[in-house]
Each structure stands twice: as structure tokens, then as C-alpha cells.
Amino acid sequence: MTDIRQGGCLCGNARYEINLDGYKTSNCHCLDCRRHAGAPYVTFTIVPLEQFRWINKPQGEIKTSQTAVRRFCAICGTYLQWEGEDQSHLAEINTATIDDPSGLIPTYEIYTKSRMDGVMPVSDAKQYREGEQL
């Protein structure tokens, strides 16, 4: 059964559709994600690129490291997507921007060496000190 959902930014300008067949969901604790989101970690849902499409692509884009581009709405600032240069075959979407994120529980966490004090690991999720090779 195909699980197709939509999502977007706070103001509604940027919108997308995602097919969640075979998805992975993870928490990233790296300093770049924390600072970009202003949060203790970011939860991403990841699918093959062909299972994702922009209905209205966000205009905001920033390269915050040598290896990735982050996309956000230039109007409201909502952080929507991380795209790694070596993972361009994947769509890595900020799970909080999916209209109905029900059931998308992280099964692994990355960059746990940077986890903030007081933030507990997700029960039963694999823990990676650095990034997982997808």
C-alpha cells in the first residue's frame, strides 16, 4: 500500500508530496542541524529521490558546509530539506514539515557525540556517534 503525504512550510508557499514507501526516519544531533533549526536536534524522513516532488519549491537555499545544501522557505524561514552532495539520490525532508507525520518514529540517531545534555536517546533506536552511511 502506497503512503503518499504532503507537507510544506509555515506560510504555505513551499509545498511538496512524498511517497513514504520504504522510508527511514532519524534524528540528527550535529551542530549544523541544531543551529539551522534552533532546536536540540532535527528529525528527518528519508526516501529515494524519485519518491519526492516539489509542488512549489522553496526559494531559500544555503550551503552551510562543504557537503550539503539546506532548503528553506525564503518568506517564513521554515527549514524543509537537507541535501548531501554524496546523497543526492535521496530526499531528506524535515519530518516536522509533513502535514501528517503520524507513525514516523526515528529508528536511528546520528551525530550522537554532539547530543545536548538532557536530551535522551530514542528508545530502541540505533545510535551512531557520527553519520550513518546510507
Distance of CA 80 to the CA centre of its chain: 7
3 state SS of 75: coil
Global confidence as pTM: 0.92
Contacts of 107 (CB under 8 A, 6+ apart): 24, 25, 26, 124, 125, 126
* Residue 61 pLDDT: 95
Domains present along the chain, CATH in parentheses: 4-111 (2.170.150.70)
* Residue 105 pLDDT: 96
Residue pLDDT, tens place only, 71-88 = 999 999 999 999 988 888
Average pLDDT value over all residues in the chain: 94
Residue pLDDT, tens place only, 10-53 = 999 999 999 999 999 999 999 999 999 999 999 999 999 999 99
C-alpha distances in Å from residue 28, one per residue of 1, 4, 24, 111, 122: 28, 24, 13, 6, 12
